[in-house]
Amino acid sequence: MGRNGHSRSNTGWIGRTAYLASAIALMTAAGAVAQDMSQDQPVPEPYPTRIDGYQLVRVWIDQPSDMRIVDRLTDDIWSHHVGPDGAIDILVSPEQMTLLGQSRLPAVVLNDDVQALIDAEWARLHSPTRVGHDGGQSILGDDWYLDFKTYDEVMAYLDELAARNPDIATVVEIGTSIEGRLMKGIEIRGLNASANCEEVLFNGNQHAREWVTPMSSTYIAEQLIDGYGVDPDLTAIVDTYAITVVPISNPDGYSYTWTNYRLWRKNRRNNGDGSFGIDLNRNWEYEWGGVGSSGNPNSDLYRGTDPFSEPETQALRDYILDRPNMTMHIDIHSYGQLVLYPWCFSNQRIEDYETFRSMAVAISDAALAVHGKYYRPGQWYSDLYPSSGTMIDWCYGARSGMMTYNIELRDTGSYGFLLPPEQILPTAQELFAGLVTMMQTGYEARPMLDVSELVYGSQAQLRGGRMTPGMTAYFIYSLTGEGSTYVPQLDVTLSLAKPVLGGSATVGNDGIASLVKPLPGSGPPRIIWVQAAEQQRVSNLITTQINN
């Protein structure tokens, strides 16, 4: 590794000592109160899965063959993105470290004893003087952010948040994990929000080990609920949108990181071959199965046998599908301090590239202003690190241009997933500032068309969302194919060749227009192209097939 590697390694060690010292100081301060209540608690066992001797290493790559060397070495890649200088963080065993040295890729050690960080964190969290936790009597107040919280604690906190202001906050159960854990979220909707208000989704922790994401998610909900009727800006936001926050999108994986292996990433699907887990953020249907995902069940990037094979991704998908007026979304991850937008699977620019780019810069600026931390905006895809089957590609590609970002929270690699607890609240504040900026700026997404399965002799159901209440929605189809056809009466250009009007409907107060149309009794299977339009606005194009 050379001298450079050793000096980075030493820096990491000094940093760790400082963090331990401050954590101990905090524990001592809070200790006396909590001690009595904790005496009856069973003493938990440390994590059975250990990684003694493993090191966190930053490697610099500048061509695809370098990335293949890394891929052959390990799939435990901690970075979500290759840095602008080609840096990528990987966890390596002593044997892999030797091979890495032989590869001659430039590298430095960020942390030479990751297990020691894990052990220190475990000891802190299982101390009777655990910071920010007084034995379960109350979890209100700023103490919540003094240390990380378990799945049960986060779920209980959502109930408490809703109870603080039941007029505007409701706990929603969006699904159930493989092991039967509830996926709870909280929906916040102001008293003056209109029936057709736009909807926003923030979800954290698709990846289990990213512990700062549930904490930051609860902060979003707490700030919006407590700020309503108090802070004019937040009140306006809550009166504009219905906002759902799902802090833990992978409850089984998250629980596993608290009991068995701190660095687990995937869900807990039993793959039947001795391996466990599917990478939920490679399991989404849009461009599923392509680059940057793995067909190997042992891989940390395993995409599953089919798109949406997992109840956790199905639950999030259905929640979005049920809300055709949803226009904005952020998938919250760590680490790297990044604001990433689609595409993940392709180097092509999305149609709304300029809009997404400028919003990403605005989010980054807002985060920077809080504590001076820079979150780098950029398209997820890079030649060195593409991904497919991600949530944000689906939200954009399958949901008619929904505004969607993948935000990577702190840090930039000193601690990675093992973030010191002192950084929880500042990280949450940075994220929240970015989200407030996004919601204040707003985004007019295209109308959203959904079409039911089409079977001869049955009814076709067409639904347009994000449309203008009181306007007429037109459902238009083509049996010829895609094309470009200007319709002067509506002042829109359809992506259809030889379009035919299928029917029209008045848009309701909820911004939704529905049309039910009987299909012919029988016929040959044929492809049909469909769009919805209103004055000057046109939806996504749906290509589907009429079957018998």
Residues that bind Zn ion (CB under 5 A): 207, 333
Tokens for 92, please give them. 């390596």
Instruction: Say which amino acid occupies 5.
Output: G
Q: Give me the least distance between CB of 156 and Zn ion, in Å please.
A: 24
Residue among 124 and 333 whose Cβ is closer to Zn ion: 333
Taking the least distance from each CB to Zn ion, the nearer of 132 and 253 is: 253
User: What token pair was written down for 423?
Assistant: 């950084």
Residue 452: count other Cβ atoms within 10 Å of its Cβ: 13
Query: Which C-beta is closer to Zn ion: that of 133 or that of 207?
Result: 207
Of 143, 270, 281, 268, the C-alpha closest to 204 is: 281
Q: Which is nearer to Zn ion, 207 or 537 (CB)?
A: 207
Residue 421 Cβ vs Zn ion, minimum distance, rounded to whole Å: 20
* CA–CA separation, 192 and 179 (whole Å): 39
Q: Which of 447, 454, 360 is nearest to 407 (CA)?
A: 360
Minimum Å gap between C-beta 332 and Zn ion is 9
Q: Are the C-beta atoms of residues 112 and 12 closer than 8 Å to each other?
A: yes
Phi, psi (rounded to 5 degrees) for 349: -85, 140
Strands (E) located in 356-416: 376-379, 403-409
Contact 429, 370 (CB under 8 A): yes
- Burial (CB count <10 Å: 0-12, 13-18, 19+), residue 486: exposed
Please name the residues in contact with 14: beta carbons below 8 A apart, sequence gap of 6 or more.
none
Pick the closer one to Zn ion by CB: 303 or 333: 333
Closest to 250 in 3D by CA, of 307, 206, 300:
206
Which listed residue (198, 312, 408, 534) is catalytic? 408
Q: With contact defined as beta carbons under 8 Å apart, do 514 and 467 qualify?
A: no
Closest separation in Å from C-beta 333 to Zn ion: 3
Q: Smallest distance from the beta carbon of 507 to Zn ion, in angstroms?
A: 38
DSSP letters spanning 380-394: S--TTS---S-HHHH
**Tokens linked to 456:** 């001869």
CB of 206 to Zn ion, least distance (A): 6
Specify the DSSP element, H or E, that contains 487: strand 481-487
Nearer to Zn ion, 316 or 494 (CB): 316
Nearest to 535 by CA among 482, 487, 465: 487
Strand 537-538 relative to strand 169-176: parallel, antiparallel, unpaired? unpaired
Q: Which is nearer to Zn ion, 410 or 463 (CB)?
A: 410
State phi, psi for 530 to the nearest 5 degrees: -130, 140
Report the residue number, 240 or 281, with the smaller CB distance to Zn ion: 281
Give me the numbers of helices (H) and strands (E) for the chain, helices first please: 12, 22
Whole-number Å distance between alpha carbons of 132 and 153: 12
CB of 387 to Zn ion, least distance (A): 10
Considering the complex, state which of residue 332 and residue 546 has its C-beta at the smaller distance from Zn ion: 332
Q: How far is the CB of 96 from Zn ion (least distance, A)?
A: 22
SS (H, E, C) 506-534: ECCCCCCEEEEEECCCCCCCEEEEEEEEE
> In the complex, what is the shortest distance from the CB of residue 276 to Zn ion, in angstroms, rounded to a whole number?
18
Residues 6+ apart with CB under 8 A from 309: 269, 278, 283
- Residue 408 catalytic? yes
The residues annotated as belonging to the active site are 408
